[in-house]
């Protein structure tokens, strides 16, 4: 028996896959914008709301159960990124958590300090830091993106990552091009000049396993709705760094880590669902091993399946006249997400045509606005297709057939 559930078995967990549109079964290639959700996650969310719903830290059972459920979710997310539960901060989404972290970190930054960002990143990992720079009088430098292969320009990085940089904010993977960056190396380069390393793992986490200890980064953010969970953001920070932060907070709110970074009443049901998403993924492994080990095994297998699917998609699209592909080709370090354009067709028109065939893809710049500008696609953006755990080879063929109709 294979050690990780087959795609057919995985699909049985997702009621959304039964949807039909225009007489076609729906093929969801919109995972990079948010994946579908398995029944185990919605069951956990509704069980919490129906049977345990309360505010935290009181003496009655449903409040105690709420505390326990949040603690269990912290432990699950800690296994997800390779950290300790006390280092996991929950929030509305990655963007909100990053603004909040920026406000807290910014209290220790001042004029003359530099924040380094990149052209490859989603604007949640650029404008958040630009806003902080405006408030604190900081300098922002931006590492260039190489259009030849969709990767960061190493020479430009070496020029810009100098003493005086307090924070290097970079992505583990690009939500537009699918480029995977070498997080361990970039973190080490940041530390070599005394800078902190902040990693946006929102796109990466849905495709590969995060490992904050092996990467030796300082902060990392991801979002559960990209890995089969509800709309909840997750921030990890080294415990000592979190403890030293002074985030804006209400006087009566907890001063302890990680709670002091969590503002107001959180989405308890969302947090429970995020934990359930991690458990769902771990349960795809049949190994009798600790959760993190099972997650590692599942992630490795899903990554290999995704690489095969994206390779087929890339080569199939490349064979069509008038289709242009962007970013790193298959076989290099990348996720199972790609972007393309069709000559003479607006990206929105391509996405509409595919939707008519039951193939759901996204279009635009996906807030990777700088990536679109660098490739001269600021007006129309790209068409984006992402393969998820439930994507099949047949669905890839259906996508290719629908694009072929436009190019014939």
Ligand X SMILES: Cc1ncc(COP(=O)(O)O)c(C=O)c1O
Q: Of 93-101, 162-170, 295-303, 375-383, which segment contacts ligand X by CB under 6 A?
A: 93-101
The least distance separating ligand X from the CB of residue 269, rounded to whole angstroms, comes to 17
Pick out residues in 116-145 that bind ligand X (CB under 6 A): 122, 124-125
Judge whether 336 and 396 are in contact, CB under 8 Å. Answer: no
Q: Establish if 113 lies at the interface with ligand X (CB under 6 A).
A: no
Interface with ligand X, residue 388, by CB under 6 A: no
Residue 142-171 contact track with ligand X, rule CB under 6 A, x = bound: -----------------------------x
Contact by Cβ (8 Å): 242, 262? no
Shortest Cβ distance from residue 335 to ligand X (Å)? Answer: 10
Residue (230 or 358) nearer to ligand X, CB: 230
What stretches of 331-381 adopt beta strand conformation (E)?
337-342, 359-360, 362-364
Q: Does 94 bind ligand X (CB under 6 A)?
A: yes
- The Cα-based distances of 135 to 95, 111, 168 in angstroms read 17, 10, 18
CB 330 within 8 Å of CB 301: no
Contact present, 178 and 335 (Cβ < 8 Å): yes
DSSP 285: B
C-alpha distances in angstroms, 192 versus 8, 163, 239, 388? Answer: 47, 9, 21, 36
Over the window 172 to 211, marking each residue x when it contacts ligand X by CB under 6 A and - when it does not, the resulting string is ---x------------------------x-xx--------
Beta strands in 276-322 (DSSP E): none
Binding to ligand X (CB under 6 A): which residues in 291-320?
none
- Cα angle 67, 34, 328 (rounded to 5 degrees) comes to 125
Give the span between the Cα atoms of 46 and 273, in whole angstroms.
9
DSSP character at residue 231 = S
CB nearer to ligand X: pick between 150 and 233? 233
Span of 41-49, 87-95, 258-266, 319-327 interacting with ligand X by CB under 6 A: 87-95
Whole-number Å distance between alpha carbons of 153 and 167: 18
Does 30 engage in binding with ligand X (CB under 6 A)? no
- Contact status: 95 vs ligand X (CB under 6 A): yes
Q: Which is nearer to ligand X, 37 or 400 (CB)?
A: 37
Does residue 74 interact with ligand X by CB under 6 A?
Answer: no
- Exactly one of 35, 128, 208, 223 binds ligand X (CB under 6 A); which one? 223
- 35 binds ligand X per the rule CB under 6 A: no
How is residue 126 written in tokens?
Answer: 């650029």
Q: Is 233 in the site for ligand X (CB under 6 A)?
A: yes
What is the dihedral sign for C-alpha 253, 256, 261, 265? negative
Question: Which residues lie near ligand X (CB under 6 A)?
Answer: 93-95, 122, 124-125, 171, 175, 200, 202-203, 223, 233
């Amino acid at each position: 028996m294979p050690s990780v559930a087959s795609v057919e078995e995985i699909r049985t967990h997702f009621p959304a896959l039964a949807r039909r549109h225009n007489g076609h079964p729906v093929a969801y290639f919109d995972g990079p914008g948010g994946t579908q959700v398995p029944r185990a996650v919605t069951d956990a969310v509704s069980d919490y709301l129906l049977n345990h719903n309360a505010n935290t830290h009181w003496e009655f059972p449903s409040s105690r159960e709420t505390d326990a459920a949040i603690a269990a979710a912290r432990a699950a997310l800690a296994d997800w990124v390779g950290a300790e539960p006390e280092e996991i901060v929950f929030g509305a989404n990655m963007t909100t958590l990053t603004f909040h972290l920026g406000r807290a970190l910014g209290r220790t930054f001042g004029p003359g300090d530099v924040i380094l960002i990149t052209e490859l990143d989603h604007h949640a990992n650029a404008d958040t830091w630009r806003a902080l720079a405006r408030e604190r009088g900081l300098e922002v430098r931006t590492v260039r993106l190489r259009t030849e292969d969709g990767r960061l320009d190493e020479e430009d990085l070496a020029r810009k990552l100098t003493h005086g940089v307090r924070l290097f904010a970079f992505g583990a993977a690009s939500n537009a091009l699918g480029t995977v960056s070498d997080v361990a190396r970039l973190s080490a380069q940041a530390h070599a000049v005394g800078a902190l390393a902040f990693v946006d793992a929102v796109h990466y986490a849905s495709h590969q396993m995060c490992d904050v200890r092996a990467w030796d980064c300082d902060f990392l953010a991801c979002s559960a709705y990209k890995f089969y969970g509800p709309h909840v953001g997750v921030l990890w920070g080294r415990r000592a760094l979190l403890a030293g932060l002074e985030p804006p907070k209400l006087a009566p709110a907890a001063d302890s880590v990680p709670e002091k970074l969590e503002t107001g009443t959180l989405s308890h049901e969302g947090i429970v669902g995020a934990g359930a998403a991690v458990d769902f993924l771990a349960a795809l492994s049949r190994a009798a091993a600790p959760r993190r080990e099972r997650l590692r095994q599942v992630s490795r297998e899903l990554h290999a399946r995704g690489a095969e699917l994206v390779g087929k998609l890339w080569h199939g699209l490349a064979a069509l006249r008038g289709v242009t592909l962007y970013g790193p080709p298959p076989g290099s370090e990348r996720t199972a997400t790609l972007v393309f354009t069709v000559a003479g067709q607006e990206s929105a028109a391509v996405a509409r045509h595919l939707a008519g065939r039951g193939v759901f893809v996204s279009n635009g710049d996906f807030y990777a606005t700088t990536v679109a500008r660098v490739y001269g696609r600021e007006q129309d953006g790209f068409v984006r297709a992402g393969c998820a755990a439930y994507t099949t080879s047949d669905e890839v063929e259906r996508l290719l057939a629908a694009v072929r109709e436009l190019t014939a």
